[in-house]
Structure 1
Amino acid sequence: MKTNKITQAMTVLFLAGVALPAVAQEQDGWYLGVGGGATRATIAEDEITADLMNSGYQVTEFDAAENDSGYKIFAGYQFNQNFALEAGYFDLGNFSYDATTSPAGMKSGQLDLNGWNMDFIGLLPVSESGSLFALVGAHKSEAEVHFAGTGAVNVLTPNYAKTTTDYKFGVGYQYQLGEHFGLRLAAERYRMDDAVGNDGDIDLYSVSLVFRLGGGGHAPGPATQAAAPAAQAPVVAPAPVAATEQYCSSLEIEFEIANNDIQRVNQERMRVLATFLESYPETNAVIEGHTDNVGTEADNLKLSQQRAQAAVDYLVREHAIDRDRLTAVGFGETQPVADNSTTAGKQKNRRIHAVIGCATGIEGLEPLPARVTLAMELEFDTNDATIAPKYYDELDSIGEYLQTNPELSATLEGHTDNASPEVAQQISRARAQSVADYLVSHFAIDRSRLNVQGYGSTRRDTYNATASERQDNRRVNIIISYPK
């Protein structure tokens, strides 16, 4: 009977995953689960024997059925990769005993236990898809005990029921199978009262199916938004103008989480700004740093200042811009440009912005052409470096562009989500290498033009709290650079 209930519940949960994609997008962080497995109880043999002896019966044989099966249905919210809160309903099965007595008779007892629980769960990621966890919580359960006597044994009160609140704890392992589904193995112990004054433990060893409501519909990334490379060309500098016309420039750069590094794709944008500042030496620039709202205000203010200062230092170091012309100002989380309640909004708010004064054009002075960097982003399945067929067309356009422009080079940057450092480095480089192999085998691109780099999980775009965020971090960025 319980096996049928577990099977039916798992079927309903799977159909919910198919039928509720809209809810999944709106309930990021929520999950549902159902599972079942073996249960084992501790029958209080000594106490039962003592009670019968006090009533004048000698126990000559004691048989206990301490094993059964149970099931549970639960729902929870995962706040981040290390903490979740969960509540649910459980039924731990039926346990019984038969005590044969002298004078000749038998006393039989049966215990049923079910109830509701709430658990605090701590998780420790050990791979891209797997996490160890420990839980501690409380349960409010109803214990029903039924007694029957035969022969010389007379049972005056055959039925007892009692509702109590007690503690529970457990450990386990959870593995994410894909965007929505995961498997959980758990061993849990429920402290219980059998309704007639005996305390004991019931253990549940379960396998559960977990369905995550978050993810499933994130916005297209750079790979889907990028136009065909062949259609793009370096920016053409304006012709010399009269002294009455002005040139202006600006800069927008987004950052990864808790990071102030100027990455390769953003270095190209910095070159555009440097070209303007070199061409118009009378202009000054204020570099503004910003963050999302994750973390304390003080930490975010410090991080935003570090981001702005990193841009200033880069311009001075790499392009010899006079430091006196540059000012770094950090605004922390006080000036968001997007909604911090969404992953995409947080990404937009982790940024620096340059406010540059406009320069009056001097006749005969022509700004150097800005370089153009084309970027493409691919996503991968968990622990996999296989290129999905949906990316073939874009990769082909990259390959054709490199074929027709032999002076260009490309950097392939591999990334992962929250795997261990050794595994993350290996997987990220393998992903970048698989892209390089594709370009070499399909378009005969010289390997010397392809720079393969693996960054592991050190350059995250999102917080890894949900399956969709982890998917965003499993990626390869292809960056095509123009020669200086």
Structure 2
Amino acid sequence: MKLKNTLGIAVGSLVAASSMGVLAQGQGAVEVEGFVNEYFTDSSRNYAHDEGSEYGGSIGYFLTKDVELALAYGEYHSLNGDSALGNKDIKGSQTDLKALYHFGEPGAGLRPYVSGGFAHQSISNTVAGGRNSSTLATVGAGAKYYFTEMFYARAGVDALYNIDQGDTEWQAGVGVGLNFGGAAPVVAAAVVEPEPAPVVEEPAEIVRVELDVKFDFDKSQVKEESYTDIKNLADFMNQYPQTTTTVEGHTDSVGTDAYNQSLSEKRATAVRDVLVNQYGVGGERVDAVGYGESRPVADNSTADGRAVNRRVEAAVEAEAK
């Protein structure tokens, strides 16, 4: 009964240990188990009872996520034998080495299995009161239920063929155990091609050059001091050859409308000629137009205001590269 008490403590320890955390099952995992088997004996060794109990434990190692190699040891109890000396308490043990193949995927839930292997059985107080040692071939089937990745319960049946004596015995049992995780199962992840990043076009920077050329009263000649400003406009247009411009001429209010219209056109033409003839801007890219005194930007009643109105204006815009 001491072994039964020890097994009860072991089972309790397994349940308590399962609360420590979840470990991954799979290749490289180790399982330890405590078990109880009901042993159904043959009739050739004169047992008074044709069944008894085996208590023991096992340790297994997963060679793959499905294949486990397990070593078990158990001791027999509650067997009696009929010998020439009378009924005897039969003492014995059995050591198993078997391979188990598990079905299904590792993880919480049910995993059926089949098993096969060999065992060595040693029993005392048999027919002649001596010790009987036998080599057994074993096959079995059962199922494990994993309450968590770590803690499980098992039930199974094994057939034990006695190679030495040529008869077959059976045992059915239950057990509880712990799985100390190995490699987590690899789940193939779908390869998702990243969507190409949207092309964000940055807004084009608009650059602008303006020209404001002033003229003396009743004159259409371009003053020397204005050539630098005209050249800046020409350089810009040569840098951006897709650009065009219109040169606009203006006058103050002194004189008749017709005279001022003609004078404004001459002023516009004079600036155009400098752009085209001196600074190389294509003639097809520059228009000249006069507006006379119709578009003043200052007060024509003052001398300063009239000086501001005697002008030629132009502007060019382009998208910066």
Instruction: Give the structure 2 partner of residue 169 of structure 1.
Output: 139
Instruction: Give the structure 1 partner of residue 251 of structure 2.
Output: none
Deviations 1:225-259 (A, max 9, x none): xxxxxxxxxxxxxxxxxxxxxxxxxxxxxxx8345
Matches within 5 A, 1:294-309: none
- Assess, with a 3 A threshold, how the Cα gap between structure 1 residues 3 and 175 changes in structure 2: closer, same or farther: same
Matches within 5 A, 1:313-328: none
Matches within 5 A, 1:65-464: 65-98=49-82, 107-108=86-87, 111-125=90-104, 129-146=109-126, 159-192=129-162, 198-214=165-181, 257-258=187-188, 260-262=190-192, 270-271=194-195, 274-275=196-197, 278=199, 364=204
- Assess, with a 3 A threshold, how the Cα gap between structure 1 residues 159 and 23 changes in structure 2: closer, same or farther: farther
Question: Conserved in 2, the CA contact under 8 Å of 1:92 and 1:204?
Answer: no
Higher CA-based Rg: 2
**Structure 1 residue 42, shift from structure 2 partner:** 1.2
**Structure 1 residue 164, shift from structure 2 partner:** 4.1
Q: Distance in 2 between matches of 1:123 and 1:363?
A: 64
Instruction: Give the structure 2 partner of residue 35 of structure 1.
Output: 35
Structure 2 residues not aligned, in runs of 5+: 206-321
Deviations 1:16-71 (A, max 9, x none): 5467x69999x9611211111422111217xx6xxxxxxxxxxxxxx831121212
Q: Distance in 2 between matches of 1:162 and 1:68?
A: 17
SS of 1:3 mapped into structure 2: helix
Structure 1 length as normaliser, TM-score? 0.35
Deviations 1:352-373 (A, max 9, x none): xxxxxxxxxx9949xxxxxxxx
Structure 1 residues not aligned, in runs of 5+: 49-62, 100-104, 148-157, 219-255, 281-361, 366-484
Q: Distance in 2 between matches of 1:86 and 1:108?
A: 35
Question: Conserved in 2, the CA contact under 8 Å of 1:132 and 1:173?
Answer: yes
The structure where helix makes up a greater share of residues is: 1
Q: Distance in 1 between matches of 2:141 and 2:89?
A: 28
Question: Conserved in 1, the CA contact under 8 Å of 2:85 and 2:129?
Answer: no
SS of 2:118 mapped into structure 1: strand
Q: Distance in 2 between matches of 1:128 and 1:22?
A: 10
Q: Distance in 2 between matches of 1:14 and 1:94?
A: 27
Q: Distance in 1 between matches of 2:82 and 2:124?
A: 17
Deviations 1:91-148 (A, max 9, x none): 243533448xxxxx9854654331321111111128961111000011123222346x
Q: Distance in 2 between matches of 1:260 and 1:17?
A: 33
% identical aligned pairs? 14
